Amino acid sequence: MEKKQAEKRIKELRKIVEYHAKKYYDEDKPEISDFEYDMMMLELRSLESQFPEFITQNSLTQKVGGNVKEGFQKVEHEVPLQSLQDVFNFEEIENFEERVRKQAEEEGISNPQYVVETKIDGLSAALEYVNGKLVRGATRGNGLVGEDVTENLKTIKKIPQELPEKINITVRGEVFISKKDFELMNSEREENEEELFANARNAAAGSLRQLDSNITKNRPLDIYIFNVQKIEGKNFESHYEELEYLEKLGFNVNPIRILCKNKDEIIEAIKEIGEKRENLSFGIDGAVVKVDNLKLREAMGTTTKVPKWAIAYKYPPEQKETILKDIVYQVGRTGVITPMAILEPVKVAGSTISKTTLHNEDFIKEKGLKIGDRVLIQKAGDVIPEIVKAVTEKRTGEEKEFKMTRICPVCGAEAVREEGEAAVRCTGIECPAKLHRNLVHFVSREAMNIDGLGENIISELLERKMISNIADIYDLTLEDIATLKKNGKKFAQNLINSVNESKKNDLYRLITSLGIRHVGVKAAKVLAKQYNSIDNLSNATIEELNQIEDIGPIVANSIKEFFEQQQTKDLILRLKQAGVNTVRLKEENADNRFEGQVFVLTGGLEDYTREEALNIIEKFGGKVSSSVSKKTNYVIAGDNSGSKLLKAQNLGIKIIDETEFKKMID
């Protein structure tokens, strides 16, 4: 490559890798695979090696990626948290071992040993202990400056708050989420219509870098410690000895560490870890080879970015070719219709793969997939099988184009794709695929508030075929319910009373209970006030709905589509026949003391749930917003208030505590 051409390509690559590094390290939302990123970095390193005159200090080959997130305190690392030099073949491992041997000979050290460990796919962090007590924890950041995430790290059960010895020590570890926990997290997020995490590494990183430690507390984070950064009053000769000492202190130390004497043993250890990779409970993205002798490490030194005494071998993703036999549909509990690939079974990374998700119609178009294609598949992050691409050169002409359905394959209701969304959703309220979720929502506290009818009871009623749609709740008899529990007469009577009581609910509760997409309690109250009856709302036009404050075009379309469905019409008719109130109840002694005032709630209140506080504010004519802005009048701050409190302080918005709130409503 000519010099001018190389300079141009180096500049292009730097721009691309900087963009993707920002997505990966700072935003925890990668857009490309680790392998694709590694290959770009490899090309950049190679070009800079050939043309060193173009190397700059700002190149990501010369520094660690990552910056401090706004809202966190900065922590300067006394001992830098460096990155590792990646290699992709055994020849480079042999070259590394040769460099180590030469340095060892110069230092008079015979037979240098190595420790080969798993390269855990997570987020690096440092833990600092003073007199045996955890005083600070920080992310790696850019290697020199990280984020103070002490409170978040304290939520990880495997991290000891106090050590059995009163020593001053700083250790480094990798925070991660296990494969099993990652799958469970994404399943729950899918059910709750939340954006799925791309992989376990980014789920862990995003969880640890939360400004609100209560969010971190509810995430299944784990940690493996793999290095002593600094220690006072003790001297060790080897890295392996350090790891054994850390275990005695109670740290959760990286479980796979293999002591090796030469390059052949190193390569065997790497192969051994590669074979175990599929069965490990945690994800790895390589194997790390470290010099064991600490004096030799010191002699070898480091560059500004990486230590010269360690190297990371990256396993290539295993890809296999198979046939995309068909594309079928799977309807989730939220009504999202997901296309699923049916594959000719093939073994990849130790597992037989016969199907995988195709996410949505955009994904299929981007990949250019056709039914009957030969396709390449691999496992993303060692967990999720994915189609990489179609092998278009092997097409026969018999492949079929795929067209996404606009009819729910389970119930036949219309399936819609909203503007700005990739998902196609079933609009049928009584679709069997989402009936359980719809029932749970219908009876919930913020909706019809039927006490005693929890998820388990609903599951049993469905299993016994005692109900098959929402309206069947109002046909349940005392005898039906009593059979659900041993000596269940009292339980049955209480539940029947609660079901009958729900018939008297105000209109906004009924609207909320229907689970119209984008319509929560707040919007339901606005609609109830505007239309006064379910019939009036059912007949509302798009134009009318668009004119209502707080009801935008997306919500208006969702409401219109919902009430046009035959399933909706049938349900409302049956609810009326059961005696459920469908009109707005008259308000007595209206008190609008908060009219025109916007409140934001943050943290936990002692005497009120968030829903109770919201209802009180709205009862007095006020509004509750989920975010702080210049339009906010009051921020009610409870325990463990997070970023909303900081923003309110910066904007100069009035902040009140629970005591002041009580005075305002007294």
Nearest to 159 by CA among 237, 217, 241: 217
Instruction: At 167, list the tokens.
Output: 């020593």
Using CA atoms in the order 133, 134, 135, 136, what is the torsion angle rounded to 10 degrees? 160
Question: Residue 166 carries which side chain, given as an amino acid letter?
Answer: K
3 state SS of 375: strand
What is the distance between the alpha carbons of residues 220 and 596, in angstroms, rounded to a whole number?
Answer: 41
CB count in 10 Å sphere of residue 157: 11
What is the distance between the alpha carbons of residues 134 and 171, in angstroms, rounded to a whole number?
Answer: 11
Instruction: At 390, list the tokens.
Output: 């179609």
Whole-angstrom CA distances from 171 to 159, 229, 242, 577 are 11, 5, 10, 68
The number of residues making up the chain comes to 666
Contacts of 168 (CB under 8 A, 6+ apart): 129, 130, 131, 231, 232, 233
Nearest to 617 by CA among 633, 600, 594, 642: 594
Instruction: At 340, list the tokens.
Output: 């699923």
What is the distance between the alpha carbons of residues 331 and 438, in angstroms, rounded to a whole number?
Answer: 14
Instruction: At 382, list the tokens.
Output: 């060692």
Instruction: At 46, list the tokens.
Output: 């190679």
What is the distance between the alpha carbons of residues 78 and 86, in angstroms, rounded to a whole number?
Answer: 25
Are 639 and 604 spatial neighbours (Cβ–Cβ below 8 Å)? yes
Contacts of 595 (CB under 8 A, 6+ apart): 620, 621, 622
CA end-to-end distance (rounded Å), the chain: 78
Instruction: At 166, list the tokens.
Output: 């009163």
What is the distance between the alpha carbons of residues 366 and 357, in angstroms, rounded to a whole number?
Answer: 14
Question: DSSP code of 211?
Answer: S
Can you tell me which residue has the tokens 């015979």? 110
Using CA atoms in the order 93, 98, 103, 106, what is the torsion angle rounded to 10 degrees? 170
Nearest to 507 by CA among 448, 420, 429, 427: 448
CB count in 10 Å sphere of residue 580: 21
Q: How do strand 222-231 and strand 169-176 relate by DSSP bridges? A: antiparallel
Catalytic position from the list 4, 119, 217, 663: 119
Question: Residue 107 carries which side chain, given as an amino acid letter?
Answer: E
Are 160 and 132 spatial neighbours (Cβ–Cβ below 8 Å)? no
Can you tell me which residue has the tokens 């995309």? 324
What is the distance between the alpha carbons of residues 446 and 427, in angstroms, rounded to a whole number?
Answer: 21
CB burial readout 175-196, b (16+ within 10 A) else e: bbbbbebbeebbeeebeeeeee
Nearest to 601 by CA among 498, 526, 522, 513: 522
Nearest to 307 by CA among 323, 321, 296, 319: 296
119 is a catalytic site residue: yes
Residues assigned a catalytic role:
119
